[in-house]
Amino acid sequence: MNDCDLCTTAGGEILWQDAFCRVVLVDDATYPGFCRVIWHEHIKEMSDLNQTEQHRLMRTVFAVERAIIATLKPDKINLASLGNMTPHLHWHVIPRFKQDAHFPNPIWGTVMRESAPQHDNNLIASVLKATLAQQLS
């Protein structure tokens, strides 16, 4: 689809990819380490994938979760697959910290405070790339 952002752009800095999906780092200073796992083909729902593809995608989501935990040591990880605004199958993998702007609310919820964790996104990208390459090889 030509009007789908996830079909026409990478959707962030590519950290890892294969023939089926890609992992990108979202450019969001408020939420360092926020990644998306994006299915390459334009489909809307998990149920549009066959069982092997579903397992492959979720294996990648869980590898990203483990890599973020090892890299950033967040207080919590949020996993979300919404697609209401962009109906292209993708998962959000979001590290959460007690001091982040929305905690304990979802990042799309009510802001609770102005503070946010401070991290070097270049270092995060480098470490996540190496960790994902090792986990998903």
Query: What's the pLDDT tens digit per position in 35-65?
Result: 999 999 999 999 999 999 999 999 999 999 9
Which structural domain, as residue segments, surrounds residue 131? Answer: 5-136
CA–CA distance, 113 with 119 (Å, rounded to integer): 18
Query: What sign for the dihedral angle of Cα 34, 37, 40, 44?
Result: negative
CA 117 to chain centre: 17
Backbone angles phi, psi at 15, to 5 degrees: -100, -30
Domain count for the chain: 1
What is the SS3 assignment for 73? coil
Q: What is the pLDDT of residues 88-136, one digit of tens each?
A: 999 999 999 998 999 999 998 888 888 655 778 889 999 999 999 999 9
- The enclosing domain of 108 has a CATH number of 3.30.428.10
Closest CA to 38 of 55, 13, 52, 20: 20
